[in-house]
Structure 1
Amino acid sequence: MTAQGNMNKSSVGTEAIDPRSNSSRDEEVDLYLVTWNGKDDPEHPYNWSSLRKWTITILLSNGGLVTLMSGAMLAPALQSISADLHTGEEETQIFLSIFVLAFAFGPMILSPLAEVFGRRPVWILSSCFYILWNTVAGFSRTPGLMIASRVLSGIGASAEFAISNPVLSDCWIPSQRGLSFAISTFIPLLGPAIGPIIGGAVSQSIGWRWTFWILSIYDSLLVVIALFVFSETYEIIILNRRAAKLRKSTGNPYHTQWHEASEKLGDRLSHSLTRPIRLLLTQPVLQVVAIFLAYNFGILYLVLSTFATLWIDRYGQTETQSGLNYIALVIGYTIAAQVGSRMMDKLWAYLEAKAGNNTAPEYRVPLMIPGAILIPVGLFIYGWTAEKHMHWIVPDIGIAILGCGIINNTQSLQAYVMDAYHDYVASASAASQFLRSIAGFAFPIFAPAMYNNLGYGWGNSLLALTFVVIGWPAPFLLWRYGARLRAMGSKQQ
């Protein structure tokens, strides 16, 4: 358990590698360095059984379902909540979008904690925190308590963004990442469709407060299951525990390549908690990814914040009927997740073979091109068909195309970050998602005014044209200059 088979440590600006691979070193062998016992070490998550890996993946996918349902489930019930809490349109809209704002700040804390204490305890405790405050939201009698409980429950729910992708990176090798994305994203992507449907039906029948309590009950069930099936997946934590066990049994200063035997928990925490913001400030490639993700997410939440209102006000549908239109969005999500994820693996294998078995994070970029085209197309179709009050199915086709493009881009960018920052995927993912969550909160605030002044046609055309200016150069920038941008970044991890 010492220096047999030192693991290569992926660093910023390097190619994606298998962390179990051996590296030859000229320096003297460190007898107390704890590493993996070769590529077939059964304790490495890559070598776990498929059943074990899929069980954890699907569990976390259901946690993602709760998060996305919590963000969308409230939309059809906003008018009922407004009437009960005596709030205006803009303040009521904040009840929906403030939840997304928490996604910006939650992962900036939870991701570093997951790198110090492990994925498992952070996910379980964050889920419990969500359950507590989401339940409180259902008891809210004042706007202040509703906003506070939505912020706090959003921080707990943001564990989905802090933990899920890192766990995929922990368990699945890069050539299987597309398949793992296809399965792991399918369940959460049902949230934007199931959430409003359940939210509309529940609000109309037993009251909007149960839209919160139902999710709390479901997430409580997931936490109980996690206690039995969610094993720790982070290789650094697994090896650190192995080293600690050896230190205790032998009295010798066993350590890992990441942490010395004498390193204190406080020092690790202080360094880790600042890692996401340091990465965002020092890594040019993460800044490019963050800006692109921000506009993607901002557009999506701007459109979704007024989606239910469109059907209720302009098409005269009930809350329950309006929720059914979200099925179109999830169809677009699902097509992109399933087709795009499989194409991701095929493109990776093709480009790897073409480059003589060399790999690079840029192999994820080509899949962004269809997404960059679909987003403005979907916005144009949705906006102008809604403006002209065409049959409901035509705006739904537009929203499905938009959703397809959003997921295509998001998956590609997430995989890019996972490959470029292997050892600190959690912190790098949090850094890349920070701006997108702020955009997801801010964009819906001006949605009612934009659509009131410009209408759905010109309003969505403005969004589409802006996306063309920002979004179309992004894939070419990352493909051509991605490696150079990563090399420029200061390697402060």
Structure 2
Amino acid sequence: MAVSKQYGEYWGVNILRGLGSAPFEALPAISISDIYFAHERGGKLGAYVFGLAFGSFVGPVCGGYMVTGQGVRWMYWWGVIIVGALLVLFFFTLEETHFIRPLDMHDEALVSTMDMPELDKTLTTKSTSKEADDLSVHQPPEAIVGEVFDADGFRIQYSLWKTYPTTWTAVFTEWWIPLKCINLPAVFWVSHSATSSLREANQCQCGLNYGTCVSWLAVMGTTVALIFSPPPYLFSNSDVGLVWFSPLIGSLIGAYFSGPLNDRLTVYLSNRNRGWREPEYRLWAFIPSAIIMPGGLIMYGATAAHGLHWIAPVFGMGLVGFGLSVGGTVTMSYILDSYKEIDTQVITTIILLRNIIGFGISFGIQSWIDGMGLQNTFIFVGCLSFAVTMFAVFFIVFGKRMRRRTTTRYQHLMKTKAM
């Protein structure tokens, strides 16, 4: 990007950037699901989503000063320097911990329990199922809850790669399993006619919801310079970068609301449900977000179209930042609670859908604004955001029933993954 001068080069380097940035979007969320308990994941995912938002919002602030002081090319040279330093840091400090787990009796017992709709307990209760009794038999007698095992100390890494005993069939299977996950509830949502039955409405909202939330951020990123640089605002490059502090603050509040506070809400609702925790409890956080984020989009577009004081559209950006954190945290928390055993595949599917939607809306937003005008475009975008987010109410009511109907499909994907 720092040396490209032709349109084709611009496309090529962005393809490389996409390939390089894709892994970081999935790996942290999957790691969180492996490390933390169910009632803690919301807070940790909130911190992760805020980290993504922090980079998205602080980047333009730094970029504005770079362009002003050093020129637009140096904005990309600094990216090369920072990523190069991270490359050295990651290579020498991140130890490869992957190992192959055989499909033993523990895994078979786990698969056999997937027909139970209530898979996760927030409170400790006595299980009466035969599967749980069989599972406890295979646990090592010396394993104690809370026991800390000895581990090797830190060691500098030197090997360039490691190989593992697997087949090319297993490798290619990992490529198409995420596509099969699209038909699972909590992975994708497509519109149906009013006469669609509940069995037909077997595809749901997380990919679309998260995708549209990120798309509204991309819409703002595309239009901020077009709004604040000309009259009546006449912001400089550095001033345009500073307006991104507003969505940064909003995303911080949204991360706390959809993370730790939402974790407490799910525990409270689980206690009322005799200790059984349902993934749909997390979706209640979408109700206030369905009002706040569309309101921010409409405020941003309508006030900027009429040239009102800059604080009005900037405040609207803060509301959009709040909705972005809520959308990312709640969707990933819900998907991980619903399909913990295939978390890698479903997270990959959600990110794929999210990026496709984000690309489409970002690609067409300028033509959209040219055709409808700034105010009408953002009013329409706000209404669309409200409709997509409020559809969570449908899944609060019917989500558990849809998960029950797809238990067999879930088990099949688990077994395919284990092969």
Aligned partner of 1:156 in structure 2 is 20
Residues 1:398 and 2:262 aligned together? no
Distance change in 2, residues 1:283/1:340 (3 Å): closer
- How far residue 229 of structure 1 moved from its aligned partner, in angstroms, is 4.2
Residues 1:316 and 2:234 aligned together? yes
1:285–1:485 Cα contact (<8 Å) kept: no
- How far residue 163 of structure 1 moved from its aligned partner, in angstroms, is 0.8
Distance change in 2, residues 1:342/1:204 (3 Å): same
1:293–1:436 Cα contact (<8 Å) kept: yes
Aligned partner of 1:104 in structure 2 is none
Aligned partner of 2:79 in structure 1 is 215
Distance change in 2, residues 1:232/1:350 (3 Å): farther
2:49–2:325 Cα contact (<8 Å) kept: no
Residues 1:277 and 2:183 aligned together? no
Q: Which secondary structure state, in structure 1, belongs to the residue aligned with residue 26 of structure 2?
A: helix
Aligned partner of 1:416 in structure 2 is 334
1:367–1:409 Cα contact (<8 Å) kept: no
Give the whole-Å Cα distance in 1 for the aligned partners of 2:274 and 2:87: 45
Aligned partner of 1:295 in structure 2 is 212
Q: How many aligned residue pairs are there?
A: 338
2:49–2:328 Cα contact (<8 Å) kept: no
Give the whole-Å Cα distance in 2 for the aligned partners of 1:188 and 1:167: 15
Aligned partner of 2:10 in structure 1 is 146
Give the whole-Å Cα distance in 1 for the aligned partners of 2:208 and 2:291: 18
Q: 1:238-283 deviations in whole A, cap 9, x for unaligned?
A: 453xx6xxxxxxxxx989848xxxx842232122221100111x31
Distance change in 2, residues 1:173/1:266 (3 Å): same
Aligned partner of 2:49 in structure 1 is 185
Please list every run of 5 or more consecutive structure 2 residues that lacks an aligned counterpart in the other structure: 109-164, 189-203, 414-419
Q: 1:272-297 deviations in whole A, cap 9, x for unaligned?
A: 221100111x3133122222223323
- How far residue 395 of structure 1 moved from its aligned partner, in angstroms, is 0.6
Residues 1:376 and 2:278 aligned together? no
Q: Which secondary structure state, in structure 1, belongs to the residue aligned with residue 71 of structure 2?
A: coil
1:372–1:409 Cα contact (<8 Å) kept: no
Residues 1:482 and 2:399 aligned together? yes
Please tell me the residue identity of whatever aligns with 1:284. Answer: P
Distance change in 2, residues 1:344/1:254 (3 Å): closer
- How far residue 202 of structure 1 moved from its aligned partner, in angstroms, is 1.3
Q: 1:97-141 deviations in whole A, cap 9, x for unaligned?
A: xxxxxxxxxxxxxxxxxxxxxxxxxxxxxxxxxxxxxxxx22212
2:302–2:374 Cα contact (<8 Å) kept: yes
- Higher relative helix content: 1
Aligned partner of 1:31 in structure 2 is none
- How far residue 368 of structure 1 moved from its aligned partner, in angstroms, is 1.2
Please list every run of 5 or more consecutive structure 1 residues that lacks an aligned counterpart in the other structure: 1-136, 244-252
1:178–1:345 Cα contact (<8 Å) kept: yes
2:26–2:348 Cα contact (<8 Å) kept: yes
Please tell me the residue identity of whatever aligns with 1:331. Answer: I
Aligned partner of 2:363 in structure 1 is 445
Please tell me the residue identity of whatever aligns with 1:332. Answer: G
- How far residue 406 of structure 1 moved from its aligned partner, in angstroms, is 2.3
Query: Which has the higher mean CA deviation after the structures are superposed, 418-427 or 392-401?
Result: 418-427
Aligned partner of 2:170 in structure 1 is 268
Q: 1:424-462 deviations in whole A, cap 9, x for unaligned?
A: 212101112322211211112222233233332221111
Distance change in 2, residues 1:254/1:446 (3 Å): closer
Residues 1:465 and 2:383 aligned together? yes
Please tell me the residue identity of whatever aligns with 2:320. Answer: L
1:344–1:364 Cα contact (<8 Å) kept: yes
Q: Which runs of structure 2 are paired with 1:23-422 in the superposition (5 Å)?
A: 137-231=1-95, 237-238=98-99, 240=101, 257=107, 264-280=166-182, 282-287=183-188, 288=204, 289-314=206-231, 315-422=233-340
Give the whole-Å Cα distance in 1 for the aligned partners of 2:354 and 2:51: 22
Give the whole-Å Cα distance in 2 for the aligned partners of 1:291 and 1:178: 20
2:46–2:329 Cα contact (<8 Å) kept: no
Distance change in 2, residues 1:406/1:370 (3 Å): same
1:193–1:324 Cα contact (<8 Å) kept: no
Distance change in 2, residues 1:459/1:254 (3 Å): closer
Q: TM-score, normalised by structure 2?
A: 0.75
Give the whole-Å Cα distance in 2 for the aligned partners of 1:357 and 1:255: 27
Q: 1:156-203 deviations in whole A, cap 9, x for unaligned?
A: 101122211001111111111133234333333222222112212212
- How far residue 313 of structure 1 moved from its aligned partner, in angstroms, is 2.2
Distance change in 2, residues 1:227/1:423 (3 Å): farther
2:61–2:242 Cα contact (<8 Å) kept: yes
Cα RMSD for the two superposed structures: 2.4
Please tell me the residue identity of whatever aligns with 1:421. Answer: Y
Q: Which secondary structure state, in structure 2, belongs to the residue aligned with residue 141 of structure 1?
A: coil
